[in-house]
Structure 1
Amino acid sequence: MGHPSFHPKTLDSPTVLPQVVEASEEVKQKPRKWYYYLWDTLDKPREERWLMFKLDAALLTFASLGYFIKYLDQTNINSAFVSGMKEDLGLYKNQLNYMQTCWTVGYVIGELPSNMILTRFRPSRWIPCMEITWAVLTFCLARANNATTIYVLRFFIGLAESTFYPGMQYIIGSWYRKEELAKRSCIFHTSSALGTMFSGYLMAAVYKLGGRGGMAGWQWLFIIDGVISLPIAIAGFWFIPDVPEIAKPWYLTEEEVKFAQKRMQLEGRQQRKPYTKAKFKKIFTSWHIYALTPLYVFFNNGGVSAAPVFQQYLKASKDPKYTVSQINVYPTIQNAVQVVSTLAMAWVSDGVLKGARWPMIVFGGCVNIMTEVSLAVWNIPTKWKWACLSLTGVAGGLSGLCMA
């Protein structure tokens, strides 16, 4: 690409590393080529491209698969509820909301301690252990026979899942530079929409298994979700690279790890440090915790995509009356919108806006205001109601940008 060319293996030579770092910094100062806007590694020296290819192939792929199964196991309760579980277990009124709330309580309680643990122990051990835990608990949901059992299981599933998203964002942020981060953070985030979509498609297919083995279709959903989740969780022991300062992944050489450490030093990223009174004081006196925490709270509570509104709307419809398959499949339009809009905003943020996040966050927020106000009115034309329910997926794409 017009930069110094080295064979990937030559990075093992200590004399090559400074040249690669210099070439990488030189590229950042020059006008970007058109192919940079397609994918940023195309405009980097060969050695850096090779390092990032391996990171993308291992870290980003595992992160996306892990978040896929997290959302598969997180949202399957909605698909199961509208596909027979409500009637079989005699559920009523707000019990689905309570199931979701129990999960959220576990998730909120677990996030901060889990991320603190990640700064003391190896993420490549802690995160897969938590994934295996929630996969096993997902199996257990298939045998739940009352609401109370589901409440307890959902709480512990939320507790186990609290490790994954903030933990993987922390690891991704430890390996990628600013102009590389939004795309990868948002690719990682879109897998949540794909997991939700797949849960709907899977329920539509698994519903036909009802009666086999003495179990209903919704019970088979939890079993199959667990079967999908378990091998991905186990793969984490081999594919999570930890953070650069302690990383020894089998797919990176020692010199490549040193190069990754240097990239983070150039980005101003600091290594992990012990928790001290001074550190806590610095955290709680910085503007970040008071600005970014409310931002993310508003994001999480600002979209109906966080609740099964679309599915409940279809289930309650009398004219026309929708089938179980349609109730599970039609709402996935929302997730498809999220995937497309998330990736589009990420590419614009990293490339065209050169790392600026706020314009795309404001754009997504404005779309969300329009859809939420319309749905709050509710008595609107049916076609516009469908459009608004679908467009709430745009707001779901803001998570990766907020994290980046």
Structure 2
Amino acid sequence: MPPGIAKNKYESKRGVSSTSSSQQQNIEDEQTAAEIVQKKPKLTWRSYIWDAFDKSPEERRFLAKLDAVLLTFASLGYFIKYLDQINVNNAFVSGMKEDLGLYGNQLNYMTTCWTVGYVLGEIPSNLILTRVRPSYWIPACEVVWSVLTIVMAKCSSVNQIYVLRFFVGLAESTFYPGMQYIIGSWYRKDELAKRSCIFHTSSALGTMFSGYLMAAVYHLDGRNGFKGWQWLFIINTVISLPIAIAGFFVMPDVPEITRAWYLTADEIALAKRRMELEGRANRGPYTRAKVKKIFSSWHIYLLPLLYILFNNGGFGGQPVFALWLKSEGYGVTAINVWPTITSVIVVISTLIYAWTSDTVFRGARWPPIVFSGVASIVVNSSLAAWKVPDRWKWACFMLAGLTSGISGLTFAWAHEICSADNEERALVTATMNEMAYVFQAWLPLVIWQQVEAPRYPKGYITMVFVGLGLIIVSFVVRYLHKQEIREQAEDSDSVVV
């Protein structure tokens, strides 16, 4: 066992404070630190399968625990978040539209109400996470949105749905940017894209499961006085609530304040040391100088723009594929099941993007992002033409999944770019998600109007330009980040001299 670990064990038995342990850890011999955490481990073919295989035994055990708990909870939480976000689309095309007489743009307005709540909550929530334990804040919000979901089953008017969708969005605003911030507080560069993308695939799984669930519960139509679409909301809460409650017990917070019961004192010290070597800053106070520095940097402007282009490069939250199938005369089961193939492609492409970014491209995030932009241009230009063979139209609706798998990469990139300042990292990642949904609050009302389904003459052509913008901004961010790294290296050399 490395001497640094043994020393920490001895000290923990004597009751030395965590602050004292951290200070002593900072002045350890560099050779010992390298034994504990290999900053640049020698890569073998095994790292192309999973990054932990070439790390030290201590680090492998630590990552196994962290992945088993943090990554599992994050993925399950995002699964239920998306399940409770997307269910209104499945309910809408499965009887809710007819039962409540929703023949205008009400689906657009439901999406907008959710988005407004989501937008209002994101930045305040991430700022709260830098001051309050995430293990309190995030699970509490999960419980709120889970309970509100079952209330949707009793709605008898569209206005009630609007109000509930707003508060569901407000509660859900904590989860994605919050968990991305926490994931970015535990994992190193060669680990981050995989974990961020595995986490993100849960949204596609939630979308898929919502479709399968609606197809299944539709057969409960009329049972105990509830319609099939009402049963969807009820069962969603039954699934979501236990996962939300589990968060109070398994969320590890961030390394500097963690009290996770499944991590030893040595593993917590190891986690802190890993982040030190990665240059990932601990929590600090908000000062006037810090705020000025954040808002004078390109990070706070271009990284959100990158995410705006990604997040609004899809179909605006509209069940486009399902509505086309419905217009073609397909039944309830078909219109809920066939679109899940798109979600399967999202999952597969997301994992491919993550693994190639961490291994083949040696941590570069921009190549998969550029590929996603190219795929968006091809798919949406074909659908904009519309008068294409039906087989190609089917393919385009499915291949649209190639454009949805880069969210984790953009957040991984942001964590790396903003590593030196914890508060900037929290603010930038929250702003990325918030500004993306600011646009999503109004853009679908303009280009994805329900009354224009399934042709959407404005929607597809707009997405072609969004895909082009995504490619351009990716190259600009890459250039500025490389320039920033070069300047930091020059400053470091001048200090040494």
What's the TM-score, normalizing by structure 2? 0.77
In the alignment, which residue of structure 2 is the partner of 1:306?
Answer: 317
Tell me if 1:401 matches 2:423: no
In the alignment, which residue of structure 2 is the partner of 1:368?
Answer: 376
In the alignment, which residue of structure 1 is the partner of 2:76?
Answer: 65
In the alignment, which residue of structure 2 is the partner of 1:379?
Answer: 387
- Residues in 2 aligned to 1:335 and 1:135: alpha-carbon distance in whole angstroms: 23
- Residues in 2 aligned to 1:39 and 1:30: alpha-carbon distance in whole angstroms: 13
Tell me if 1:122 matches 2:102: no
- Residues in 2 aligned to 1:382 and 1:98: alpha-carbon distance in whole angstroms: 30
- Residues in 1 aligned to 2:154 and 2:297: alpha-carbon distance in whole angstroms: 47
- Residues in 1 aligned to 2:209 and 2:33: alpha-carbon distance in whole angstroms: 42
Q: Which residue, out of 175, 179, 182, partners 1:171?
A: 182
Q: How does 1:93-172 map to 2 (within 5 A)?
A: 93-172=104-183
- Name the aligned partner's letter for residue 264 of structure 1: M
Q: Compared with structure 1, are the counterparts of its residues 30 and 137 closer, same or farther at alpha carbon in structure 2 (3 Å cutoff)?
A: closer
- Residues in 2 aligned to 1:130 and 1:315: alpha-carbon distance in whole angstroms: 35
Contact 2:201–2:347, Cα closer than 8 Å, also in 1 = yes
Contact 1:305–1:393, Cα closer than 8 Å, also in 2 = no
Instruction: Using the TM superposition, give the Cα deviation of residue 24 of structure 1 relative to its aligned residue in structure 2, in angstroms.
Output: 5.0
Q: Which residue, out of 351, 357, 361, partners 1:353?
A: 361
Q: Which residue, out of 9, 12, 17, partners 2:9?
A: 12
Q: Compared with structure 1, are the counterparts of its residues 369 and 122 closer, same or farther at alpha carbon in structure 2 (3 Å cutoff)?
A: same
- Residues in 1 aligned to 2:330 and 2:32: alpha-carbon distance in whole angstroms: 59
Tell me if 1:329 matches 2:329: no
- Name the aligned partner's letter for residue 140 of structure 1: V
In the alignment, which residue of structure 2 is the partner of 1:23?
Answer: 35
Q: How does 1:256-275 map to 2 (within 5 A)?
A: 256-275=267-286
Instruction: Using the TM superposition, give the Cα deviation of residue 25 of structure 1 relative to its aligned residue in structure 2, in angstroms.
Output: 4.7
Contact 2:41–2:54, Cα closer than 8 Å, also in 1 = no
Contact 2:2–2:35, Cα closer than 8 Å, also in 1 = no
Q: How does 1:186-265 map to 2 (within 5 A)?
A: 186-265=197-276
1:344-372 deviation per Cα after TM superposition (whole angstroms, max 9, x unaligned): 01000001111100011001111111111
1:192-230 deviation per Cα after TM superposition (whole angstroms, max 9, x unaligned): 000000000000000000101100000000000000000
- Identity percentage of aligned residues: 63
Q: How does 1:274-285 map to 2 (within 5 A)?
A: 274-285=285-296
Contact 1:20–1:45, Cα closer than 8 Å, also in 2 = no
- Residues in 2 aligned to 1:241 and 1:397: alpha-carbon distance in whole angstroms: 26
What's the TM-score, normalizing by structure 1? 0.94
In the alignment, which residue of structure 2 is the partner of 1:89?
Answer: 100
- Residues in 2 aligned to 1:369 and 1:378: alpha-carbon distance in whole angstroms: 14
Contact 2:80–2:206, Cα closer than 8 Å, also in 1 = yes
- Residues in 2 aligned to 1:168 and 1:331: alpha-carbon distance in whole angstroms: 27
- Name the aligned partner's letter for residue 370 of structure 1: V
- Name the aligned partner's letter for residue 187 of structure 1: I
Contact 1:130–1:161, Cα closer than 8 Å, also in 2 = yes
Instruction: Using the TM superposition, give the Cα deviation of residue 306 of structure 1 relative to its aligned residue in structure 2, in angstroms.
Output: 3.3
- Residues in 1 aligned to 2:365 and 2:351: alpha-carbon distance in whole angstroms: 13
Gaps of 5+ in 1: none
Q: Compared with structure 1, are the counterparts of its residues 368 and 20 closer, same or farther at alpha carbon in structure 2 (3 Å cutoff)?
A: farther
- Residues in 1 aligned to 2:41 and 2:161: alpha-carbon distance in whole angstroms: 57
- Name the aligned partner's letter for residue 287 of structure 2: T
CA-based RMSD: 1.9
Contact 1:203–1:328, Cα closer than 8 Å, also in 2 = yes
- Residues in 2 aligned to 1:381 and 1:225: alpha-carbon distance in whole angstroms: 37
What secondary structure, in the 3-state scheme, does the structure 2 residue paired with 1:401 have?
helix
- Residues in 2 aligned to 1:253 and 1:30: alpha-carbon distance in whole angstroms: 24
Q: Compared with structure 1, are the counterparts of its residues 11 and 324 closer, same or farther at alpha carbon in structure 2 (3 Å cutoff)?
A: farther
How many residue pairs were aligned? 396
Contact 1:5–1:46, Cα closer than 8 Å, also in 2 = no
- Residues in 2 aligned to 1:52 and 1:10: alpha-carbon distance in whole angstroms: 21
Contact 2:2–2:36, Cα closer than 8 Å, also in 1 = no
- Residues in 2 aligned to 1:229 and 1:36: alpha-carbon distance in whole angstroms: 35
Instruction: Using the TM superposition, give the Cα deviation of residue 12 of structure 1 relative to its aligned residue in structure 2, in angstroms.
Output: 3.2
Instruction: Using the TM superposition, give the Cα deviation of residue 31 of structure 1 relative to its aligned residue in structure 2, in angstroms.
Output: 3.7
- Name the aligned partner's letter for residue 33 of structure 2: V
Contact 1:5–1:45, Cα closer than 8 Å, also in 2 = no
- Residues in 2 aligned to 1:249 and 1:132: alpha-carbon distance in whole angstroms: 21
